[in-house]
Amino acid sequence: MKKLFLFLSAGLLTAGSSASAVEPLIFGQILSAREAQLVGDFYTAQQKNAPDPAGIARADLNGDAIDEFIIRDSQCRTDGKSPCLFDILAETRKGILSLGQIRAQRLIASDASTGGVRAILAFENPMNDYEFQTYAWNTEENRYVLQPPKSVGVAR
Tens of pLDDT, residue by residue over 97-153, are 999 999 999 899 999 999 999 999 999 887 787 889 999 999 999 999 999 987 555
| Contact present, 29 and 39 (Cβ < 8 Å) | no
**What is the domain range of residue 31?**
21-146
Query: Is residue 15 a part of any domain in this protein?
Result: no
Query: Is residue 25 a part of any domain in this protein?
Result: yes
* 3 φ/ψ angles, rounded to the nearest 5 degrees: -65, -40
Query: Is residue 154 a part of any domain in this protein?
Result: no
Query: Is residue 2 a part of any domain in this protein?
Result: no
Query: Is residue 3 a part of any domain in this protein?
Result: no
- The number of domains in the chain is 1
CA distance 129 to 15: 22
Distances from the Cα of 5 to the Cα of 1, 10, 11, 12, angstroms: 6, 9, 10, 11
Q: pTM for the full model?
A: 0.79
Task: Give the model confidence (pLDDT) of 31-90 as tens digits.
Answer: 999 999 999 999 999 999 888 888 999 999 999 999 999 999 988 876 667 789 999 999
Query: Is residue 5 a part of any domain in this protein?
Result: no
Query: Is residue 75 a part of any domain in this protein?
Result: yes
